[in-house]
């Protein structure tokens, strides 16, 4: 078949190629190896990560041709892998002679686009290493797009690796601490700094305030019962004992926990996922209802039913806020457990912190009244602000 | 302190993204953690399955061996190059582009080379976003001349029109496409007529004649020829731009039988706009596909609050990091989408969208710049898109909306705080 015939036969196919930008540019990651060179004194450590896919192309690792690489197949080819890397990734230390300490053990590591072999080698040198002449020409003959991302002596100031194009010329590596050379950076985009991350973390703790206030609105009257707050103690009803109060608090917290665990699970597994705005609005409303009811209730200890009913909504709220965070574990059980453990321990800390304080306040009728009524008013106002923000999608409070 | 739902969700999601990206930067220094599988039988990697019908791994190896023996055989190299390009079109695998470049290596820097090899080189250059070099090769081929087979010249001309269209040079694209109706290509007229018609009609549909173009495309579809898939895609994209609900069915038609990255990504974008993330996750079930598709899948998972989102976003962030460190800047569109939706960083998203707009100007690139400008609270940054649409006679509902919002936008931009979210 001549070239022209071949192309003519392919014309229809090429028409498909030619829809605008039908060929995506660099859609996957192109072939990339990771090279880490570290040295200190007379010791040199090198780590090379090379994609199994690239090795399979040049060495045929998939011996049984089933399209899958087993660990056995990788181990069988290990001597060839080492030989390939020795041929194409090597170096000399300036002013020192170095010998490998031990043969590298077969290892793997996951990168964003698949599994890589990891070859870690250690050398001892007869003199302190000042600089290294690196030769890198891996896959130069088989993939012109191959690059190695080189890091020298850990991270340099810019925390950026340097991309190496395979070639015949030696690359002079100087320790970042020693000054120039190795600290070349590729520029590009600045990822969020550590400070930002800490700030985001603090944010994340603070945004739970609405759940804390709801719980507080329920705990206030559970400890500072209306009767205690008004000082109306008579002989027919003995004053609450610590144990009675503790049981009451326990019931409320348990009802809240059971309810929000159920909905958190439902949301995490995507069985139910009500609209966020509705959930957040009802959560704000629940705070108002709980707080306002503290102002009007007479002699009745509220809580368990309210904790349960609204707790269901708060569970969806947790899912919104925590669901995504929990997934770093990448495992199903952990996805559910991790956020819940976080929520429960946070909750326990609040209960254990607040309850003794309220118990102390309880001794003084006036203080009790002020804390119960004043606290409830403050909480209700906060709930109102949130309700307005969430239903109207406006921002009242500063971030 | 708690605040509005949108902002609150943004804080959480940007917190997640910051943590994930922070991790990826941190692991970047330390690399991924090495491990040793316990058992020899454990499958540690899946190699990509052959995506072209009738291809096999063995055949691919034989081809590679043959090329090693005779690397300068143009017929062998061309076949390998086109197969690699086709695999890249279907799977989006950038390694295939490396393979195509590899087999063309003997001619890569040549000034004199067989016309067919020059065409393949032009297509590889285009796929690597080296549009100017690609156009130089295509220019050399598209003037009919005795040394270049006419079919090849026609092919080069069509490819040239599509590169010009990607660059937003619609008038040039139309002129180039029109030359195929000229006398020089008359011997091929009946064979290339459908492609030429699609090329011109798509340009019509962009330049203010959408309804007529739509009717013409429907007519062509009834006569369905060898370009039926391409036709369905052009119609789907037109319907998508017109916000016509039939876009979904047309995309499915374009995907019928075989799916390529471009069409899958466009369909996924449409589904995301239709608030149907579940279908996106279904459509893009493979988590190891092209970045462009992983990106859409992550956006869908995130909108569903799906437990898998964080891990997949982290893996994608790792790939993005690598691309950046490699200095591959042809990912600007993906970087803009990533920083707009998955790692909400409106300022970075705007800068990537601008960088992308400087290189490619398809409708999606225009919308991306509009969205990024709005998310960054810099509505003036969308001006180039508005000017472009006006100059080209492009009528698009979204750009129209942006244009109408503009007169008051300058005031609004100074009065309002920068909108924190990158909500779609």
The end-to-end CA distance of chain B, in Å, is 24
Q: Do A192 and B345 touch (CB under 8 A)?
A: yes
Q: Are B417 and B3 in contact (CB under 8 A)?
A: no
* Residue A11 near chain B (CB below 8 Å): yes
Give the model confidence (pLDDT) of A175-192 as tens digits. 655 433 333 332 222 333
Residue A319 has pLDDT above 80, yes or no: no
Find, in chain B, the residue whose alpha carbon is nearest to that of A68: B46
Find, in chain B, the residue whose alpha carbon is nearest to that of A192: B18
Q: Are A105 and B19 in contact (CB under 8 A)?
A: no
Q: Do B305 and A36 touch (CB under 8 A)?
A: no
| Average pLDDT taken over every residue of chain B | 84
Region B327-356: mean pLDDT is 91
Of B362, B360, B341, the C-alpha closest to B294 is: B341
Q: B149: distance to nearest CA of chain A, Å? A: 7
Region B345-363: mean pLDDT is 94
pTM score: 0.64
Q: What percent of chain B shows pLDDT beyond 70?
A: 87
Residue B420 has pLDDT above 60, yes or no: no
> Token pair for residue B115?
């016309």
pLDDT score recorded for residue A53: 92
pLDDT score recorded for residue B20: 37
Find, in chain A, the residue whose alpha carbon is nearest to that of B355: A188
Q: Do B304 and A154 touch (CB under 8 A)?
A: no
Please name the helix (run of DSSP H) or strand (run of DSSP E) that holds residue B220, with its range, or none: helix B210-222
Which of A287-301, B301-315, B344-358 shows the lowest per-residue confidence on average (mean pLDDT)? A287-301
- The complex scores an ipTM of 0.79
Which of A239-243, B124-128, B154-158, B321-325 shows the lowest per-residue confidence on average (mean pLDDT)? A239-243
* Residue A49 near chain B (CB below 8 Å): yes
Return d(Cα B274, Cα B245) in angstroms, integer. 9
Residue A356 has pLDDT above 50, yes or no: yes
Residue A381 has pLDDT above 50, yes or no: yes
Which of A84-88, A302-306, B29-33, B163-167 shows the lowest per-residue confidence on average (mean pLDDT)? B29-33
Give the model confidence (pLDDT) of A126-139 as tens digits. 998 888 999 999 99
Q: Do B362 and A332 touch (CB under 8 A)?
A: no
Q: Are A97 and A125 in contact (CB under 8 A)?
A: yes
Return d(Cα A361, Cα A245) in angstroms, integer. 14
Give the model confidence (pLDDT) of A147-168 as tens digits. 999 988 755 444 557 889 999 8
List of chain A residues whose C-beta atoms are within 8 Å of the C-beta of residue B21: 191-192
The two beta strands, A147-152 and A32-40, are: parallel
pLDDT band at residue B224 using 50, 70 and 90 as cut-offs: low
Region B185-210: mean pLDDT is 92
List of chain B residues whose C-beta atoms are within 8 Å of the C-beta of residue A46: none
List of chain A residues whose C-beta atoms are within 8 Å of the C-beta of residue B304: 270, 273
Q: Are A82 and B9 in contact (CB under 8 A)?
A: no
> For residue A5, what are the CA distances in angstroms to A1, B75, B151, B189, B321?
6, 10, 9, 18, 43
Of B15, B51, B236, the C-alpha closest to A197 is: B15
Region A238-244: mean pLDDT is 72
* DSSP E strand stretches across chain A: 32-40, 43-51, 68-70, 89-93, 98-100, 107-111, 114-125, 131-136, 147-152, 162-164, 167-174
Return d(Cα A157, Cα A306) in angstroms, integer. 55
List of chain B residues whose C-beta atoms are within 8 Å of the C-beta of residue A74: 44
Find, in chain B, the residue whose alpha carbon is nearest to that of A277: B5
Q: Do A11 and B191 touch (CB under 8 A)?
A: yes
Residue B207 has pLDDT above 60, yes or no: yes
Give the model confidence (pLDDT) of B49-73 as tens digits. 877 777 788 888 889 889 989 999 9
Q: A246: distance to nearest CA of chain B, Å? A: 30
pLDDT score recorded for residue A169: 86
Residue B26 has pLDDT above 60, yes or no: no
Q: What's the farthest any 2 CA atoms get from each other in chain B?
A: 75
Return d(Cα A90, Cα A142) in angstroms, integer. 19
Q: What percent of chain A shows pLDDT beyond 70?
A: 69
Region A28-40: mean pLDDT is 87
pLDDT band at residue B343 using 50, 70 and 90 as cut-offs: confident
Please name the helix (run of DSSP H) or strand (run of DSSP E) that holds residue B45, with its range, or none: strand B43-46
Find, in chain B, the residue whose alpha carbon is nearest to that of A333: B307
Q: A252: distance to nearest CA of chain B, Å? A: 24
List of chain A residues whose C-beta atoms are within 8 Å of the C-beta of residue B153: none
């Amino acid at each position: 078949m001549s070239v022209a015939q071949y192309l003519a036969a392919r014309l229809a196919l090429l028409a498909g190629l030619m829809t605008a930008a039908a060929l995506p540019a660099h859609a996957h990651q192109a072939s990339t190896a990771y090279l880490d060179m570290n040295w200190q004194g007379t010791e040199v450590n090198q780590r090379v990560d090379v994609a199994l896919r690239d090795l399979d192309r040049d060495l045929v690792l998939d011996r049984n041709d089933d399209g899958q690489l087993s660990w056995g197949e990788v181990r069988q080819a290990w001597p060839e892998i080492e030989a390939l890397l020795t041929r194409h990734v090597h170096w000399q230390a300036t002013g020192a002679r170095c010998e490998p300490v031990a043969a590298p053990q077969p290892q793997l590591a996951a990168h964003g686009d698949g599994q890589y072999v990891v070859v870690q080698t250690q050398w001892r040198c007869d003199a302190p290493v000042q600089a290294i002449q690196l030769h890198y020409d891996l896959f130069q003959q088989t993939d012109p797009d191959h690059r190695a991302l080189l890091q020298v002596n850990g991270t340099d100031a810019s925390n950026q690796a340097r991309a190496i194009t395979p070639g015949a010329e030696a690359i002079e590596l100087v320790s970042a601490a020693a000054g120039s050379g190795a600290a070349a950076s590729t520029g590009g985009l600045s990822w969020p700094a550590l400070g930002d991350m800490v700030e985001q973390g603090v944010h994340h703790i603070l945004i739970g305030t609405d759940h804390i206030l709801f719980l507080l609105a329920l705990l206030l009257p559970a400890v500072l019962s209306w009767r205690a707050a008004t000082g109306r103690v008579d002989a027919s009803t003995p004053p609450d004992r610590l144990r009675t109060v503790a049981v009451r608090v326990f019931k409320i917290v348990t009802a809240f926990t059971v309810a929000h665990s159920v909905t958190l699970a439902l949301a995490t597994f995507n069985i139910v996922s009500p609209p966020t705005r509705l959930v957040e609005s009802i959560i704000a409303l629940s705070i108002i209802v709980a707080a306002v009811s503290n102002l009007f209730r007479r002699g009745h200890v509220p809580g368990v039913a309210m904790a349960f009913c609204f707790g269901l909504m708060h569970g969806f709220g947790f899912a919104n806020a925590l669901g995504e965070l929990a997934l770093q574990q990448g495992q199903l059980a952990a996805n559910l457990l991790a956020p819940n453990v976080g929520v429960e321990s946070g909750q326990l800390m609040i209960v254990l912190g607040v309850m003794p304080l309220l118990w102390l306040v309880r001794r003084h009728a006036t203080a009790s009244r002020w804390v119960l009524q004043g606290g409830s008013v403050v909480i209700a106002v906060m709930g109102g602000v949130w309700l307005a923000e969430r239903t109207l999608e406006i921002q009242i409070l500063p971030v | 302190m708690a605040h509005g739902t949108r902002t609150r969700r943004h804080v959480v999601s940007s917190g997640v993204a910051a943590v994930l990206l922070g991790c990826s930067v941190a692991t970047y220094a330390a690399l991924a953690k090495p491990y040793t599988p316990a058992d020899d039988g454990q499958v540690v990697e899946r190699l990509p399955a052959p995506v072209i019908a009738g291809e096999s791994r063995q055949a691919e190896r034989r081809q590679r061996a043959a090329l090693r023996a005779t690397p300068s055989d143009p017929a062998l190299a061309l076949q390998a190059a086109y197969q690699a390009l086709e695999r890249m079109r279907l799977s989006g695998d950038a390694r295939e582009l490396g393979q195509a470049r590899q087999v063309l290596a003997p001619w890569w820097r040549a000034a004199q080379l067989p016309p067919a090899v020059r065409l393949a080189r032009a297509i590889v250059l285009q796929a690597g976003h080296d549009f100017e070099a690609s156009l130089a090769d295509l220019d050399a081929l598209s003037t009919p001349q005795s040394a270049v087979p006419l079919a090849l010249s026609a092919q080069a001309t069509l490819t040239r029109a599509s590169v010009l269209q990607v660059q937003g040079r619609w008038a040039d694209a139309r002129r180039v496409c029109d030359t195929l109706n000229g006398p020089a290509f008359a011997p091929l007229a009946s064979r290339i007529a459908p492609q030429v018609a699609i090329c011109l009609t798509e340009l019509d549909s962009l330049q203010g004649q959408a309804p007529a173009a739509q009717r013409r495309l429907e007519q062509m579809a009834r006569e369905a020829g060898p370009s039926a898939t391409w036709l369905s895609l052009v119609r789907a994209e037109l319907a998508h731009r017109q916000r016509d609900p039939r876009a979904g069915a047309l995309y499915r038609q374009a995907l019928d039988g075989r799916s390529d990255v471009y069409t899958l990504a466009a369909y996924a974008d449409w589904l995301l706009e239709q608030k149907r993330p579940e279908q996106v996750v279904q459509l893009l079930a493979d988590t190891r596909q092209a970045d462009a598709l992983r990106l859409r899948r992550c956006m869908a998972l995130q909108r569903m609050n799906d437990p898998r989102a964080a891990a997949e976003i982290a893996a994608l962030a790792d790939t993005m990091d690598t691309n950046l460190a490699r200095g591959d800047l042809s990912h600007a569109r993906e970087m803009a989408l990533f920083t707009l939706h998955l790692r909400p960083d409106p300022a970075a998203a705007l800068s990537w969208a601008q960088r992308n707009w400087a290189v490619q100007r398809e409708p999606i690139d225009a919308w991306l710049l509009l969205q990024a400008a709005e998310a960054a609270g810099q509505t003036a940054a969308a001006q180039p898109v508005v000017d472009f649409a006006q100059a080209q006679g492009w009528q698009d509902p979204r750009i129209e909306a942006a244009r109408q919002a503009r007169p008051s936008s300058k005031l609004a931009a100074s009065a309002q705080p920068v909108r924190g979210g990158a909500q779609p």
